[in-house]
Amino acid sequence: MSAPLFHTLPDGRRIAFRHVLPTPAHATSPTLVFLPGYMSDMSGSKATRLFASAAAAGRGCLLLDYSGCGMSSGAFADGTLTRWRDEVLSLIATQVAGPVLLAGSSMGGWLMLLVGEQLGPQLAGLIGIAPAPDFTRWGYTPAQQAALAAGETIFESNPYGPEPTPTFAAFHADAAQHQRLEQGVALTCPVHLVHGQRDPDVPWEISLKLAAALASDAVQVTLIKDGDHRLSRPQDLTVVERAVAAFYQGN
């Protein structure tokens, strides 16, 4: 992996990113933009695998760390969907002139909807990997919802790291304005959703609800019967990689 670059926002936030440009043969093809999950960054297995695949194929790819994550500046406690959406849009505006294929993992699968709505005709497609839209609505108990509404921070056990996972009241409050599963998603681009049926964090039925909520008729859902939430096993990464490759073959 190349050394990260940094995009500086007007308020001084520095957003770390990596960007491989397309070869001349793929100059008009969409650039793949990968959006990590909650408390994740561009060093994860899915991001690095897709970046390497894009580079090998001569296609453009853009990875980033949200503020407060990875190598970007800022505090994670300040992060919200609105804040991270706007960071992604600012980075795309400065780095990508042509069409964009968004790939979002877990929370990134919610964020890709919000980014896609703002991209307009620049949006070429969506790849959702265990997407988790609206998780602040269905992912917490009534007691947790009440605590967040009261301004408290809640902590949950983290199977992917040593520290508990926090959810901050500001993130929860901001997310209320970005619920999409019930109100619908007015995106008509091609979409491919990949979800493991042994996902303990995001039920695979969420991908079916998202498929139904999307205005697009060009929606595919791939279910991996023994797949977990991370979908980071070699065979899972191959499925994701093929979903991305199929998009380019069909466009």
Alpha helix positions (H), the chain: 45-57, 81-95, 107-119, 135-138, 142-149, 169-175, 205-213, 234-249
* Local structure of 221: helix, strand or coil: strand
The catalytic position among 40, 199, 207, 236 is 199
Beta bridge partners of 35: 104
199 flagged as catalytic: yes
Nearest CA to 86 out of 127, 28, 98, 74 is that of 74
Give the DSSP per-residue string, 123-138: EEEEEEES--TTHHHH
Q: Which residues are bridge partners to 8 per DSSP?
A: 14
Catalytic residue among 29, 67, 106, 207: 106
Calculated CA dihedral for residues 199, 204, 210, 211, nearest 10 degrees? 130
- Active site positions, annotated: 106, 199, 229
